[in-house]
A and B are shown apart, each in its own frame.
Chain A
Amino acid sequence: MYEGIVQSLIDELGRLPGVGPKGAQRIAFHLLATDATDVRRLASVLVEVTERVRFCRICGNVAEEEECRICRDPRRDASVICVVEEPKDIAAIEKIREFRGRYHVLGGAISPIDGIGPDDLRTRELMVRLSDGAVTEVILATNPNLEGEATATYLARLLKPLGLRVTRPASGLPVGGDLEYADEVTLGRAFEGRRLLDV
């Protein structure tokens, strides 16, 4: 245990995801040894972020205004919505630079063990967005793990009566990788989803 404020700093840092007690201590002492202006800049960014950043009223992505950059962009295709668990998934998909539709952030996945049901996610907001009939395809890009799959199944059933095209990204072998390094679950999925080579 360290004296008062230093220990409080370590405790606060230790609450961050991916930071253990040792890491928290290391960051704390790094901050103490760093130039005061750098630390102030970090502090002001932290404050600014909490004041300025909010969540897009339409899709739930992080935004600095009422609506996020993607929802405001008239060039984006309003007929396709890609449903993801977290805002960071949007950043990942945006890196493809090919998806021109819009997004919808659920804010997690269904997990009864953690007490998260469909009503704790932004499903209602999604249904509202789909009600005007402008959307023709919904891509369910939740994580390919158990909870993500269950969430996708739930949403697929929910959306079925609307008569939309409901799709899910393929699972399979990583591009540029070696077959021998793929784990058996991924390989099994890849074999299940094999496609006819039309030459």
Chain B
Amino acid sequence: MHLTRLALTDFRSYAAAELALGPGVSTLLGANGQGKTNVVEAAGYVSTLGSHRVGTDAPLVRRGAERAILRAAITSAERDSLVEIEINPGRANRARVNRVAVPRPRQVLGVLRTVLFAPEDLALVKGDPDQRRRYLDELLVARAPRFAGVRSDYERVVRQRTALLKSARARTGSRGFGRARPSGPDAAGDPLGDEAASPAGMGLAGALDAWDEHLAVKGAELLAGRLVLTAALRPLLTRSYAAVSGDDVAATITYRQRGSARSEATAGEAADRDEPPAGDPPADRAQLAQGLREALARSRPDELERGVCLVGPHRDDLDLGIGELPSRGYASHGESWSMALALRLSGFELLRADGDDPVLLLDDVFAELDTGRRDRLASLVAGAEQVLVTAAVPEDVPAALQGTRFSVADGAVTHAG
């Protein structure tokens, strides 16, 4: 698929801008702070309903404006679509597809599929686990948009359950009341002290049980999706890493469930951690849900003591490895970049294998790379149906990726041949 038109109204620095795009490579050139990244961010927003730079919508709206509007015309093998999104910070966003309002903006997901490379990607390798979870989830949603619903349901269960844990903690003080539990229901400071007062003696434990069940069921669905995805990425990552780094070492990717019996076993045998990764647990939902139930039961005392939800896919991580070593902490800067690029490239290959080519967005990445990686990346992506590149100076862009040029200055984008 490719974008044929992208129009921004009151988005970031742009009062109004419009780009006519075609298949192949388009390069946006301009000095820093002129708004190149904003264009790429807009395309990314149409595809994921989120920005790769900020977590909230407020910064996306031009200062002084009430709302921002994005319009994107997309041509794919199946059809031509026009997506329009109105970004209303603090209120519900609205969206239209082919001039028909959709009940939920979520329904535009999947119309435009993109893979974005940005300087921020280094955090995929060096940053916190939430970066890697987001990487997986975005890819999951791009492949099967229904996961957007699964993910938001799951997040809501976690919020509800966390609120319950927090209020339980506030009610009993910060003492480790969870630990008092084995000493019997009549122990002083018992966690379930309101048992007598509540119907049929269920109290807090009963309410938590109900949320545990939903966390396990919804969590298992998300988990199953992530495990299948990780398995599909594994061969692609090894290949992409070799191609982009030029090194002959195997890059590995393993999904790690925190708090599961499995990972506790691995932690116990930390000494012989250099054994090869055991592979992914089975992606059977019923089995995964049962695993989560057991993990929740085990960690309940800890959760009550700390007032946070410690088990579930919102705590999991992806272990990335280069050769024998984990990439986090061991990889050099160059290796980290190769890994980050390989993750994005594998995502691209995966979406491509599902059918239509996604649109590639390369935001200022070439300036970060050495010549070797730069040229290898350029040759790997040059065959994509559409590539949007941003750079401060033309010299940053490899010759293979020049294409149509736009110049970006003072909040305006002009065609420069």
Contacts and interface: CB of A to CB of B under 8 A. Distances in A.
Interface in B131-164: 145-146, 149, 153, 156-157, 159-164
A86 interface: no
A160 to B, nearest CB: 10
A161 B207 CA distance: 16
Contacts of A146: 153, 156-157, 160, 214
A59 interface: no
B317 interface: no
A144 interface: no
Interface string B146-186: 10010001001101111110010000000000000000000
A105 to B, nearest CB: 15
B163 A113 contact: yes
A157 B199 contact: no
A154 interface: yes
The binding surface of chain A is classed by DSSP as helix
A153 B146 CA distance: 24
Contacts of B203: 118-119
Contact of A153 (B145, B153, B210): B210
Contact of B202 (A112, A118, A126, A151): A118
Nearest to A149: B214
B206 A150 contact: no
B202 A157 contact: yes
Given A154-B209, A184-B149, A112 B164 contact: yes
A124 B214 contact: no
B202 A158 contact: yes
B213 A153 contact: yes
B197 interface: yes
A153 B200 contact: no
A169 interface: no
Contacts of A110: 207, 210
B116 to A, nearest CB: 25
A123 to B, nearest CB: 5
A142 B320 CA distance: 44
Nearest to A121: B199
Contacts of B214: 146, 149-150, 153
Question: Which 10 pairs from chain A and chain B are nearest by CB?
Answer: A154-B210, A112-B164, A112-B163, A153-B210, A184-B146, A124-B199, A113-B163, A123-B199, A127-B199, A150-B210
Interface of B: 145-146, 149, 153, 156-157, 159-164, 167, 194, 197-200, 202-203, 206-207, 209-211, 213-214
